[in-house]
Amino acid sequence: MKIQIINGPNLNLLGVREKSIYGDSDFNTYLDSLKHRYPSYEISYFQSNKEGELIDKLHEVGFDYDAIILNAGAYTHTSVAIADAISAINTPVVEVHISNVHKREAFRHHSYLSAVCKGIIVGFGLDGYRLAIESFTAPVQQ
Ligand code: DQA
């Protein structure tokens, strides 16, 4: 199982940025714990503050990887181009937000990405990335 995690703008500052909203942990420490928990999965990580680089990464992995977990940060609320990239690729994408965007400012309530993603995980802190992995790897048959 090849899983790509993609984080967008300002998420390089996790552990430093607005800790009351995003928590104390930096992403690399969290990523180590995820890799430790799921040793049999190949988990890759990419972060960029640039919209075009996020799109390039979606194109690069989107025909080959089994799963993409995307937190596009503020581009979630603005980017038709990232939504189009998700539509263009074959790999399913789960949208993650660390904070519960629906408890926050109105401009965070709309996502251009949700309608083209497999699903959305919002408001569970960093644990949302683990929940996203579980959604790909351990679904209960219905
Ligand atoms: C975020 C929520 C966005 O509204 C914000 O712009 C972010 C982080 C989250 O993970 O909660 O940068 O995607």
Delimit the domains of the chain by residue range. 2-137
Per-residue pLDDT at 72 exceeds 70: yes
| Residues 83-120 pLDDT 10s | 999 999 999 999 999 999 999 999 999 999 999 999 99
ipTM greater than cut 0.85: yes
- The mean predicted confidence, pLDDT, of the chain is 95
Cβ contacts of 52-59, under 8 Å, gap ≥ 24: 54/6, 54/8, 54/82, 54/85, 55/81, 55/82, 55/85, 57/4, 57/6, 58/6, 58/82, 58/85, 58/86, 58/88, 58/89, 58/93, 59/85, 59/88, 59/89
Paired tokens of 80? 């038709």
Per-residue pLDDT at 142 exceeds 70: no
77 annotated ligand binder: yes
pLDDT at 141: 66
pLDDT at 127: 96
Q: Tell which one of 76, 104, 129 to mutate to probe ligand 1, the residue whose CB is within 8 A of the most ligand atoms.
A: 76
**pLDDT band at residue 5 under the 50/70/90 scheme:** very high
Q: Where are the beta strands (DSSP E) in 29-122?
A: 42-47, 67-71, 93-97, 119-122
**What is the second-level CATH architecture of the domain 2-137?**
3-Layer(aba) Sandwich (3.40)
